[in-house]
Amino acid sequence: MKLNMNDNVKVKLTDVGIQEMKKQHDEHNDYLITNGGEPYGVFQINKDEEGYTKFQMWKLMNTFGHMMHNGSKIPFDMDILLDVD
């Protein structure tokens, strides 16, 4: 089985992961507003009926990669599902 970095995956975010996503959202909003742009709007997490949030694999790595090291508080449950839908 091959996994392309553009493939969709699903993870269950922890409170740490949700806080990190909100922090990044707020930082991007501040940058946009400071530079005369329109903000993204209200922060929200899109979960499916089973509590999973979908990302492209590269985006998951980009969003949380800096947090993934030995002894860190994990931003999502370690089971990553390949989204074949």
Q: Closest Cα to residue 79, out of 14, 2, 10, 7?
A: 10
**Sequence spans of domains, the chain:** 8-82
Q: The pTM is what? A: 0.88
Each of the 85 residues of the chain gets a pLDDT tens digit; together they read: 789 999 999 999 999 999 999 999 999 999 999 999 998 889 999 999 999 999 999 999 999 999 999 999 999 999 999 987 6
